């Protein structure tokens, strides 16, 4: 006798979770615990729970205190509210798949959509779901019932989680023709779908198919229905006591599957009874039908279900796996539905065998990360750069992500420059060097400063190779000091001493330059060992004195600006940029006590060059001589038209007035 156990049989993760929570609660003997209806459609499980003190009630009003378990099928929303109003301790064992359907119905009902549920209207799951749309849903369980539906403007369709996909598709096609705008949700539990497919596979290859499960279990009845499509001999039993072993002895190959409410011990009991002589072999057959998994192992899985916060995965184990949102991707803002679709085959890492609710905890992001640790080790050995993304600023530095692995960048390694605000780097991507890596301890420390330093050293070398004394180069003024200006030449700084800023005297570098200003300077000297570069700004212009002696001669008339006034005279800056002295005695033909009596700084004056001392670079100017020249010039012009005597004619009246004015002044 060859016995084949379906790979996916027995408790689904929702039922297993509910039963586990109920058993845990039953151990708390000091608290009264009740189950609102049968916890699962399995009389044996219900009876065992009653023996442990978990009593079934059919109405909330039957109790007034204690713990109340809501079964895996769920209940209407108003029941949950009433439980809370009665101050009962709610233990909600509703299957996560059912909760998902409830949320969909509530969301679309609130949007104004008519709700259509494909399923058995008397099933507790359907009754509970209907409670999330104010019990106003249209419930159909056949194509004939779907034909009787009215026309809808907006409709939302969901399914009982234990339906067959063929039935749901056929009914949905009919409903689709009756709505202008329709939203169809395939809410059939993928664990159910996989269990049904597994049953069909076994049924097609055996002589007799035995389906174990409660007579009232919807999903078990569907397994019977599916098995009959592929096998002529199908038996539905609740326990091995319902089976006549003589009836199955005549078959060579026996297939076994079980509904979602059937515990493992009932399956094992059936196998033992059918082949007691090969008990150990049968037990191994059951166990071997499931994949053996270990923490930290990477296995392949098929996506069963995707929600906004988690992904359910079939890993061919007796329990399904769950990937929480924070374990999907290194990007915490990612939407699971953007990453995976139902049916996708992916690699996952086993984090925990049981999360306390019967689920295997998985991670997809750690798969790539585990592979990338080896890559990072190799890159670290080669001292190569890696790309990192800054996640957030924390005390002492930045958290970063490198190839899916979280790491740390100390504040002192963020930049070669001092950084006051680390928050400015959030979300930025940098090339960094690994400065500490420990694969076993999962420690990764990186440095951006090391990369900047290497880049700076390369730039510095390139600049030094290009610089030569006497060359004219372009730079940017970085900062000003009392003694000069520092200029960035593209990676190295040079100094323009205050004496080399201008050919004229400069009180402060800010009188000539400003930070950030682009300038052309001449390289005066280079000292690579001491990293010193002397620059000159004035050397990029022709010396004003040379321009002056080339273009100006004694006797020339010039215009200039008064730039300084002393007791003995005023200094006038000519257009060539040189200063000449206008002695007090040369300011006017009239007596001038102090230059400041007649001149002010900023005045523009016309002067005559009366002396040039090239050796001492001194220039003497005169305004008085300029007046004489003007007078002589006027006389000369007058001679051309009338006599000199005529040019000095004055009337007696004018003469008397002039004398009176002089006497008054005295």
In order, the DSSP letters of 556-569 are -EEEEEEEEEETTE
Identify the pLDDT of residue 288: 53
What is the per-residue pLDDT for 445?
94
Residue 628 reports pLDDT greater than 80: no
* pLDDT at residue 550 is higher than 70: yes
CA distance 487 to 475: 6
Residue 304 pLDDT greater than 60, yes or no: yes
- Residue 195, both tokens: 């269990």
Closest CA to 108 of 75, 141, 124, 132: 132
**DSSP reduced 3-state for 195:** helix
**Res. 642: pLDDT tops 60:** no
Confidence of residue 130 (pLDDT cuts 50, 70, 90): very high
Residues 394, 396, 401, 403, Cα dihedral to 10°: -170
pLDDT the model gives residue 566: 93
496-532 pLDDT, tens digit each: 998 888 887 888 999 889 989 998 888 898 887 788 8
Enter the tokens of residue 624. Answer: 């008085």
pLDDT for 655 equals: 36
Which two structure tokens, joined as six digits, stand for 152? 């809808």
Q: Is pLDDT of 53 > 90?
A: no
Cβ 215 vs Cβ 261: under 8 Å: no
What share of the chain in percent tops pLDDT 90?
Answer: 25
What are 612's strand-pairing partners?
Answer: 619
Q: What is the pTM of this model?
A: 0.38
Per-residue confidence at 245, pLDDT binned at 50, 70, 90? low
| Token couple for 628 | 């004489």
Report whether pLDDT(651) > 50: no
pLDDT tens, position by position, 452-469: 888 887 877 777 877 888
Alpha helices in 385-539 (DSSP H): 449-466
In order of their start, the domains of the chain are 1-95+189-289 (3.40.1010.20), 97-188 (3.40.1010.20), 298-363 (2.40.50.140), 385-453 (2.40.50.140), 467-540 (2.40.50.140)
Enzyme catalytic residues: 125
In 3-state terms, what secondary structure has residue 389?
strand
C-alpha–C-alpha distance, residues 335 and 321, integer Å: 19
pLDDT at res. 654:
40
Binned at pLDDT 50, 70 and 90, residue 666 comes out as very low
Question: Do the Cβ atoms of 532 and 523 come closer than 8 Å?
Answer: no
CA distance 588 to 115: 108
CB proximity list for 247: less than 8 A, separation 6 or greater? 235
Q: How confident is the model at residue 247 (pLDDT cuts 50, 70, 90)?
A: low
Q: What is the pLDDT of residue 648?
A: 35
Token readout for 101 is: 């359907």
pLDDT band at 16 (very low <50, low <70, confident <90, very high): confident
Instruction: Compute the distance between CA of residue 218 and CA of residue 161 in angstroms, rounded to an integer.
Output: 10
Whether the pLDDT of residue 287 is over 80: the answer is no
- Point out the least confidently predicted range of 192-201, 417-426, 616-625, 644-653: 644-653
- Print burial letters for 350-371: b (CB count within 10 Å at least 16), e (below 16): bbeeeeebbbbbbbbbbbbbbe
SS3 of residue 525 by DSSP: strand
Instruction: Say what the pLDDT of residue 30 is.
Output: 62
Rg (CA), the chain: 49
184-207 core/surface letters (b: 16 or more CB in 10 A; e: else): bbebbbbbbbbbbebbbbbbeebe
Answer whether residue 282 shows pLDDT above 50.
Answer: no
Cα 564 to Cα 262: distance, rounded to the nearest angstrom: 108
Q: Are 242 and 273 in contact (CB under 8 A)?
A: no
Q: CA-to-CA distance for 652 and 52, rounded, in angstroms? A: 146
Question: If you average pLDDT over residues 414-439, what whole number do you get?
Answer: 89
- DSSP codes, 631-650: HHHHHHHHHHHS-HHHHT--
Q: Cα(451)–Cα(242) distance, rounded to whole angstroms? A: 75
8 Å CB contact between 608 and 572: no
The three-state secondary structure class of 64 is: coil
Give the pLDDT score at 289: 52
DSSP letters for 492-518: SEEEEEGGGT-SS--S-GGGT--TT-E
Q: What is the DSSP string of 400-441?
A: EEETTEEEEEEGGGS-SS--S-GGGGTT-EEEEEEEEEETTT
Can you give the pLDDT at residue 356?
78
**Going by C-beta distance under 8 Å and a sequence separation of 6 or more, which residues neighbour residue 585?**
592, 624
Question: Do the bridges between strand 360-363 and strand 321-324 make them parallel or antiparallel, or are there none, so unpaired?
Answer: parallel
Whole-number pLDDT of residue 28: 67
What confidence score (pLDDT) does residue 637 get?
A: 41
Collapse the DSSP code of 533 into the 3-class scheme (helix H, G, I; strand E, B; otherwise coil) and give the result.
strand
Mean pLDDT across the chain: 82
Taking each helix axis from N to C terminus, what angle separates 13-26 and 43-51, rounded to the nearest 10 degrees?
A: 20
Please name which of 599, 605, 604 lies closest in space to residue 584, comparing C-alpha atoms: 599
């Amino acid at each position: 006798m060859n016995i084949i156990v379906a790979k996916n049989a027995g408790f689904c993760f929702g039922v297993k979770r509910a039963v586990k929570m109920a058993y845990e609660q039953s151990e708390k003997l000091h608290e009264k615990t009740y189950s609102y209806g049968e916890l699962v459609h399995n009389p044996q499980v219900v009876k065992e729970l009653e023996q442990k003190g978990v009593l079934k009630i059919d109405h909330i009003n039957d109790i007034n205190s204690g713990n109340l378990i809501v079964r895996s099928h769920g209940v209407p929303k108003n029941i949950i509210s009433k439980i809370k109003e009665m101050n009962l301790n709610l233990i909600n064992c509703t299957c996560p798949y059912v909760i998902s359907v409830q949320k969909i119905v509530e969301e679309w009902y609130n949007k104004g959509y008519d709700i259509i549920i494909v399923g058995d209207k008397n099933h507790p799951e359907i009754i509970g779901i209907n409670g999330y749309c104010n019990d106003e849903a249209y419930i159909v369980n056949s194509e004939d019932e779907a034909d009787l539906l009215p026309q809808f403007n907006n409709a939302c369709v969901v399914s009982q989680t234990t339906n067959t996909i063929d039935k749901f598709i056929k009914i949905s096609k009919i409903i689709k023709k009756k709505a202008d705008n329709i939203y169809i949700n395939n809410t059939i539990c993928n664990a159910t779908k996989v269990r049904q497919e597994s049953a069909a596979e076994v049924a097609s290859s055996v002589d007799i198919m035995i389906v174990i499960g409660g007579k009232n279990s919807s999903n078990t009845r569907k397994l019977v229905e599916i098995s009959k499509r592929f096998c002529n001999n199908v038996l539905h039993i609740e326990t091995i006591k319902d089976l006549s072993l003589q009836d199955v002895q005549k078959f060579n190959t026996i297939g076994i599957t079980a509904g979602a409410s059937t515990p493992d011990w009932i399956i094992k009991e059936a196998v033992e009874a059918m082949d007691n002589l090969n008990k150990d072999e049968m037990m191994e057959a059951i166990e071997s039908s499931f994949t053996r998994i270990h923490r930290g192992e990477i296995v392949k899985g098929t996506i069963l279900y995707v929600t906004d916060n988690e992904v359910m995965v079939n890993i061919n184990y007796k329990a399904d796996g769950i990937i929480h949102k924070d374990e999907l991707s290194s990007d915490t803002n990612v939407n699971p539905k953007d990453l995976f679709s139902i049916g996708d085959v992916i690699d996952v890492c086993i984090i925990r065998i049981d999360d306390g609710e019967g689920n295997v905890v998985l991670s997809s992001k750690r798969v790539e990360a585990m592979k990338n640790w080896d890559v990072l080790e190799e890159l670290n050995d080669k001292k190569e750069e890696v790309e990192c993304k800054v996640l957030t600023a924390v005390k002492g530095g930045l958290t970063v992500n490198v190839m899916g692995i979280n790491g740390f960048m100390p504040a002192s390694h963020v930049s070669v420059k001092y950084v006051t605000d680390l928050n400015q780097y959030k979300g930025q991507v940098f090339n960094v060097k690994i400065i500490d890596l420990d694969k076993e301890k999962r420690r990764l420390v990186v440095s951006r400063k090391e990369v900047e330093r290497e880049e700076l050293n390369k730039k510095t070398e390139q600049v030094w190779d290009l610089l030569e004394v006497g060359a004219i180069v372009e730079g940017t003024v970085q900062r000003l000091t009392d003694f000069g200006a520092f200029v960035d030449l593209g990676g190295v700084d040079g100094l323009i001493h205050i004496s080399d800023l201008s050919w004229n005297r400069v009180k402060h570098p800010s009188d000539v330059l400003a930070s950030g200003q682009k300038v052309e300077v001449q390289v005066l000297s280079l000292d690579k060992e001491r990293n010193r570069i002397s620059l000159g700004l004035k050397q990029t212009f022709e010396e004003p004195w040379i321009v002056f002696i080339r273009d100006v001669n004694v006797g020339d008339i010039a215009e200039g600006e008064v730039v300084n006034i002393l007791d003995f005279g005023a200094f006038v800056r000519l257009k060539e940029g040189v200063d000449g002295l206008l002695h007090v005695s040369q300011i006017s033909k009239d007596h001038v006590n102090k230059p400041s009596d007649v001149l002010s700084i900023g005045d523009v004056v016309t002067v005559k060059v009366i002396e040039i001392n090239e050796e001492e670079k001194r220039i003497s100017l005169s305004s008085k001589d300029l007046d004489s020249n003007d007078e002589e010039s006027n006389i000369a012009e007058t001679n051309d038209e009338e006599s000199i005597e005529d040019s000095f004619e004055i009337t007696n009246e004018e003469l008397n007035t002039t004398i009176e004015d002089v006497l008054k002044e005295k």
